[in-house]
Structure 1
């Protein structure tokens, strides 16, 4: 089950990288904004679902609490993406505040990617250790 968590986290990381690609494609598309960003929004919803599934799977697999917490943090950060978008939309593109707030959307996306990369790295390390073994090594004192 721990290897499945690692695989799911890796899939989530790939989805976030694809999300950046879709955002760039939507930004340079000549179609109307709602139409050009539809794939980006759809994948965002899938990322939210996968992050939630990862959180539950990590808990079921009895991963360390920090790893479960990081997976839950991804859920919160992804939900925050929608909040940032709506606040920026409410402020409007005509004001100087709207685009500045919307810039946080990209920065939050980078934070999401970094947290997921941390989850992949840590869960991979944990999944390679035998089930009964502790996940951290303790140095003997001299």
Structure 2
């Protein structure tokens, strides 16, 4: 279970990295249409939430320390917050659909929240790596005996 926890954190980190790439793809797509951020939306609203819940579940099944399980659960809340921030930023446009300064600031919080989520997942990944390298209780390590000099 510990190896599965470690692998899930690695896959989640890759999904977050891809999420930033998809955001850039949307930002540089011309002409900008409703589907410019389609990949970003699908990854952020389907793939990342499923991987985040899976990682939190595997942390519990791997019998990780409570702090690590708590850190593994934290991105779930951050991921749920992402579309809410994006919707609020979209709602703060003027009557002609042009972004307002407040809407742009809120949009910046969307990116900041994503960066915070990545940093939390990096912490969980480091903890999972340490946990996967640790020898479970009850298993003795075999220490090779050195030969005595002749």
State the TM-score, normalized to the length of structure 1: 0.89
Match in the other structure for 1:48 = 49
Cα distance, 1:15 vs structure 2: 0.7
Aligned to 1:80: 81
Please identify the structure whose Cα radius of gyration is greater.
Answer: 2
Q: Greater helix percent: which structure?
A: 1
Matches of 1:32 and 1:8 in 2, distance apart? 34
Separation of aligned partners in 2, 1:79 and 1:33: 24
1:12-62 CA-to-partner distances (Å, cap 9, x unmatched) read 001101110110111010143321100001111210111011111111221
Which of 104, 113, 118 is residue 113 of structure 1 equivalent to? Answer: 118
> Does residue 103 of the first structure (1) align with residue 103 of the second (2)?
no
Aligned counterpart, 1:138? none
Q: Distance in 2 between matches of 1:116 and 1:81?
A: 15
Cα shift readout 1:101-140 (whole Å, capped 9, x = no counterpart) = 000111111111111111111110111111117xxxxxxx
2:127 alignment partner, one of 122, 130, 136: 122
Q: Structure 2 matches for 1:1-142, cutoff 5 A? A: 1-45=1-45, 46-92=47-93, 93-132=98-137
Q: How many pairs align?
A: 133
- Contiguous gaps of at least 5 residues in structure 2: 139-150
The question of whether the paired residues in 2 share the 8 Å contact of 1:67 and 1:119 is answered with: yes
- Name structure 1 gaps, 5 residues minimum: 134-142
CA deviation string 1:61-88 (max 9, x = no partner): 2111111111110100011111110111
